[in-house]
Amino acid sequence: MRGLAILLSFHFAGLLVRGLLHIPLPANVIGLILFVVFLFAGWVKLEWVEESGQFLLRHMMLFFAPFIVGTIVFFPVIGGNAIGIGLSLIGGTLLVLLVTGKVTAALSEKEAPADER
């Protein structure tokens, strides 16, 4: 129970930080960043949250149920735009792969010693 309270407190801390500082990030992302910082600093021990985290991971499908139901409700709209949606998904994926490959290649060249090039 303590682990869940800790995880929720970081979520609420993210809400508070976002509300006070007007940071253009979702509150859950801010909370996650704060959580990681606290973990690495040693202020929060992994043992405190591990059991709750494993429970949430085991039941993750429950968190996707509303999204799946919403998709089914809008299936006629999605079906009418299937080609555009499909092309966007494929194009976006290819673009991400291309940019990731280029950045990785550039960073690999930059880090390689001069005699290996």
Domain-embedded: residue 34: yes
Q: Are 6 and 49 spatial neighbours (Cβ–Cβ below 8 Å)?
A: yes
Tell me whether residue 38 is in a domain: yes
**How far, in Å, CA of 34 to CA of 17, rounded?**
10
What is the average per-residue pLDDT within 13-34?
94
Structural domain count of the chain: 1
pLDDT tens digits, 57-73: 999 988 888 888 888 88
Q: In sequence order, which residues have a C-beta less than 8 Å from that of residue 59 and are 6 or more positions away?
A: none
Supply the range of the domain harboring residue 1: 1-59
Does residue 80 fall inside a structural domain? no
* Overall pTM surpassing 0.75 (yes/no): no
CA 63 remoteness from chain centre? 14
Could you tell me if residue 52 is inside a domain?
yes
Q: Please check whether residue 107 lies inside any domain of the structure.
A: no
